[in-house]
Amino acid sequence: MSTNIADHVRSSLVRRGRWGIGEILFWLIAAATLYFLPERHLILNEIAIIGLFALSLDLILGYAGIVSLGHAAFFGLGAYTAGILARDGLADPLLGLGAAAIAAAILGFVTSFLVLRGSDLTKLMVTLGVALVLGEIANQASWLTGGADGLQGITMGPILGLFEFDIFGTTAYAYSLTVTFLLFIVARRIVVSPYGLSLRSIRDNPLKARAVGIPVNRRLVAVYTLAAAYAGVAGALLAQTTQFVSLDVLAFHRSADVMLVLVIGGVGYLYGGLIGAIVFKVLQDVISAWTPQYWQFWIGLILVIIVLAGRERLTERVRTLWKGVAGRTAKSPETLPKTSTREV
């Protein structure tokens, strides 16, 4: 019996690991925007960065069940790390990206032991506190971060020594989109692996997961560290492509915005963060142009409508359409373990 279940799980993971037509079309359309929407590269660059940031939060919230109100701590640390290095002479974008990922991962690893203690309310308070502490440190250490005036004097070198950043944002968008795509592939491989399946088991019932031998704490520390590194890379992309960093990258609204992106796109679904980023930025751009003073009111109203209409029902409809385009056959929940029924 256990062999049959293992075979079912293995075949399910293999099937989910295959790329569907819908997924390929999604990334082909994203690549096509480099050529067909040249006048929108600046906002598309922001969408790619927010999408990666939302992806990092989804790894811990959607797949591991770790709630956070201070995910901007890693985003901001990555931004300041890349920005300070570039200001002080390390102008290579890829080296700055790597340094930001390492710095954010270290912070994620150190704080994970605090975050994983206690209830969800405790986690919310701890994550929020970490972000607030970092924000105050950045404000007080003006000799290093620029304080309230922001980190200025950032000069980035060409990517791979070949591609210079331009004022139209074309190189920046291509760079951010490429990094987001590569990290998405890694995240996708993780969530369809046995490790990803164990994370969903922990999310659904940590006591049962521990009872069957899953090292719950180690798995959660690992995914929290990985998500922090992803958020640090997103922050570094923002610093490098805009060549400016302010205290705004550590502000509470940064964490709230990425949570809103996930609410719009869907939690526990890697494309949810990307789709949510597109919807959020397009709404923000269109509504702020229509009514600059009250755009936040209208976005809030749309969010309320989504919640009242049943975001889960809307998300399921989108997923059903997505599966239809992709030509993928859905498995009956009765034939698979409970934790393997959610799609990537």
Record the pTM. 0.85
Q: With contact defined as beta carbons under 8 Å apart, do 175 and 327 qualify?
A: no
User: What are the boundaries of each domain within the chain?
Assistant: 2-340
Beta bridge partners of 159: 163
Measuring CA to CA, how many Å separate 46 from each of 204, 234, 236, 242, 277? 33, 10, 12, 10, 9
DSSP 267: T
CA-wise closest residue to 267 among 344, 204, 324: 344
The CATH number, out of the four listed (1.10.20, 3.90.1520, 2.30.38, 1.10.3470), of the domain defined by the range 2-340: 1.10.3470
Please, what's the largest Cα pairwise distance for the chain? Answer: 65
Phi, psi dihedrals of residue 119, rounded to the nearest 5°: -85, 180
In sequence order, what E strands does 104-261 have?
A: none
Q: What is the CA radius of gyration of the chain?
A: 20
**Mean pLDDT of residues grouped by 10 in the chain (344 residues)?**
58 68 90 90 93 94 89 94 90 92 95 81 86 92 87 86 84 94 94 87 86 87 95 95 91 89 85 90 83 76 71 56 51 42 46
User: What sign does the CA torsion over 47, 52, 57, 61 have?
Assistant: positive
**Whole-number pLDDT of residue 163:** 84
Nearest to 79 by CA among 270, 249, 260: 249
Q: Positive or negative, the Cα torsion across 20, 24, 26, 27?
A: positive
Q: Supply the pLDDT for residue 301.
A: 81
Separation between Cα atoms, residue 312 and residue 294, nearest integer Å: 27
List of E strands, 26-65:
none
